[in-house]
Amino acid sequence: MTSLTIKIPVPLKEQLREYAEQEQESLSRISEQLLLSALENRGAAELINAEEVDNQHIQEAAEPEDAVLTVKEIKALKKLLKKKKG
């Protein structure tokens, strides 16, 4: 193990402290768990399978050249939103 010193806003430290207390864990352990979780989930959007998003098998319209988001990006967003709800 090694140590890490960071500066965070006081309200965030209080939230972490309260959460650690509720979980009956140390502030250090809770911080470690949250950091690990954030790093593990950061690539979730890259692992999206289009079949899982479009489970109704609806044909998407061809994307215009000036589209803000591609069909693939829209499907990825749908998958992420579905995960948030569940």
pLDDT of residue 22: 92
Residue 7 and residue 12: Cα distance in Å, rounded? 10
Question: Could you tell me which residue, 24 or 61, shows the higher pLDDT?
Answer: 24
Query: Which residues does 57 contact at the CB level (< 8 Å), separation at least 6?
Result: none
Residue 77 tokens, joined: 């967003």
Residue 40 and residue 76: Cα distance in Å, rounded? 18
Region 9-29 average pLDDT: 91
pLDDT of residue 39: 79
| Confidence class for position 62, pLDDT limits 50, 70, 90 | low
